[in-house]
């Protein structure tokens, strides 16, 4: 995937920018936000800048009603025309600033100097699409709309914190209502069958061992799929304790089961290469890089394939396994605070969203504790 430097984000004058947007990005970067977070926040608030240009609304005139219209603009996917800020704008025609429109184009605030460039150049930001898929391609998912609104809130908080004029209080940006859906949790038997599927369905024994080990690691630790593919061989030892750096550069310990350790060791015994990655591609262009490793897309594709082959009705992904991991721990009496630490969540509230009582557990609870069971 193509990478974008912080300097390209700051210097591009082909997209509209909000007041002090460059300073906001530097604020995030210098406060150790991850590269992806900086990119995503920049992309999201640029959607708002694009809306202000399109609606001929000056930044100083932003109010709750403007935000409401912005929500509708997002919901109708009008922002898709921006092409997700793939820097295609570097070749596009410049937007012209409307009369009375205070939305800045390109650099805003103080000019960057050579010293700033030397500090900022190490940051690279990987592009991604960032849009949540849903069953209606004409309407943007409510969760995606809320993600963009949260980015706008954070930007307004930055303005307040740095004593810049803010046209609207951050808390005045209200999130849209998200319809509650019935969340399906696969049974433990279904998850175990999926994890064991590579042994049955992969014709290449090494690929079977590798994919089985990767899925065993997912189930044993509840790690994010990005964390799994980032693990190196030297992080795995006989005591089954891994020290990893996860989302937002937060570090934590995760713990392997004996079963997962055995499958990882079985796979590593087949490896004769010098590469550091725990999970190595068997062939393809990725082997030409200096640090080859399997991709998250590959692993997700394999999980979807195994689910179809096993005829499991419940939709499953690597994130489903992470949710199931938390659910099974909770159903067996695990302390919520401990689950929070294991998942690497900053807030216990986030952890509670991951724990969904399985239908089987609910049924067993009903059968055991209902007060009127006999005829």
Which of the following is catalytic: 224, 263, 293, 323?
Answer: 224
Three-state SS for the chain is CCEEEHHHHHHCCCCEECCCHHHHHHHHHHCCCCHHHHHHHHHHHHHHHHHHHHHCCCHHHCCHHHHHHHHHHHHCCHHHHHHHHCCHHHCCCCCCCCCCCCCEECCCCCCCCHHHHHHHCCCEEECCCCCCCCCCCCCCCHHHHHHHHHHHHHHHHHHHHCCCCCCCCHHHCCCCCCCCCCCCCCCHHHHHHHHHHHHHHCCCHHHHHHHHHHHHHHHHHCCCHHHHHHCEHHHCCCCCEEEEECHHHCEEEEECCHHHHHHHHHHHCCCCCCCCECCCCCCCHHHHCCCCCCCHHHHHHHHHHHHHHHCCCCCCCHHHHHHHHHHHHHHCCCCHHHHHHHHCCCCHHHHHHHCCCCHHHHHHHHHHHCCCCCC
- The residues near 268 (Cβ < 8 Å, ≥ 6 apart) are 233, 236, 278
Active site residue 319: yes
Which of the following is catalytic: 14, 147, 286, 319?
Answer: 319
Which of the following is catalytic: 15, 20, 153, 345?
Answer: 345
Active site residue 345: yes
Active site residue 370: no
Active site residue 118: no
Which of the following is catalytic: 29, 267, 306, 354?
Answer: 354
Active site residue 354: yes
Q: Which residues of 22-60 are buried (b: 16+ CB within 10 A; e: fewer)?
A: bbbbbbbbeeebbbbbbbbbbbbbbbbbbbbbeeebebe
- The residues near 359 (Cβ < 8 Å, ≥ 6 apart) are 184, 185
Which of the following is catalytic: 75, 78, 147, 247?
Answer: 247
Which of the following is catalytic: 322, 323, 325, 328?
Answer: 322
- The residues near 96 (Cβ < 8 Å, ≥ 6 apart) are none
Active site residue 153: no
Active site residues: 224, 247, 319, 322, 345, 354
């Amino acid at each position: 995937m193509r990478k974008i430097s912080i300097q390209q984000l700051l210097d591009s004058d082909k997209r509209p920018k909000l007041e002090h947007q460059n300073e906001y990005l530097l604020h995030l970067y210098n406060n150790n936000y991850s590269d992806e977070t900086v990119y995503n926040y920049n992309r999201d608030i640029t959607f708002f800048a694009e809306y202000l240009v399109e609606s001929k609304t000056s930044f100083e005139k932003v109010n709750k009603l403007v935000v409401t219209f912005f929500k509708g603009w997002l919901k109708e996917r009008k922002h898709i025309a921006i092409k997700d800020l793939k820097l295609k704008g570097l070749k596009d025609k410049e937007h012209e600033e409307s009369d009375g429109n205070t939305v800045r184009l390109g650099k805003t605030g103080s000019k960057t100097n050579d010293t700033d460039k030397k500090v900022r150049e190490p940051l690279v930001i990987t592009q991604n699409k960032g849009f949540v898929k849903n069953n209606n391609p004409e309407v943007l998912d409510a969760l995606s709309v809320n993600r963009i609104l949260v980015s706008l809130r954070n930007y307004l908080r930055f303005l307040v914190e740095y004593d810049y004029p803010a046209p609207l209080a951050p808390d005045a940006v209200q999130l849209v209502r998200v319809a509650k859906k019935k969340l399906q949790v696969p049974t433990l038997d279904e998850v175990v069958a999926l994890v064991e599927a590579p042994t049955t369905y992969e014709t290449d024994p090494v690929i079977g061992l590798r994919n089985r080990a990767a899925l065993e690691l997912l189930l044993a630790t509840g790690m994010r799929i990005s964390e799994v593919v980032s693990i190196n061989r030297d992080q795995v030892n006989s005591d089954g304790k891994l020290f990893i750096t996860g989302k937002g550069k937060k570090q934590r310990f995760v713990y392997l089961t004996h079963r997962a350790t055995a499958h990882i060791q079985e796979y590593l015994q087949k490896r004769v290469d010098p590469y550091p990655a725990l999970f190595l591609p068997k062939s393809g262009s990725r082997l030409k890089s200096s640090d080859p490793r399997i991709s998250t897309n590959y692993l997700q594709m394999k999980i979807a394939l195994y689910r179809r082959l096993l005829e499991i009705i419940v939709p499953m992904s690597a994130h489903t396994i992470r949710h199931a991991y938390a659910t099974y721990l909770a159903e067996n009496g695990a302390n919520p605070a401990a689950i929070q630490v294991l998942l690497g969540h900053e807030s216990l509230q986030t952890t509670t969203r991951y724990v969904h009582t399985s239908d089987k557990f609910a049924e067993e609870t009903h059968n055991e504790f209902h007060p009127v069971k006999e005829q």
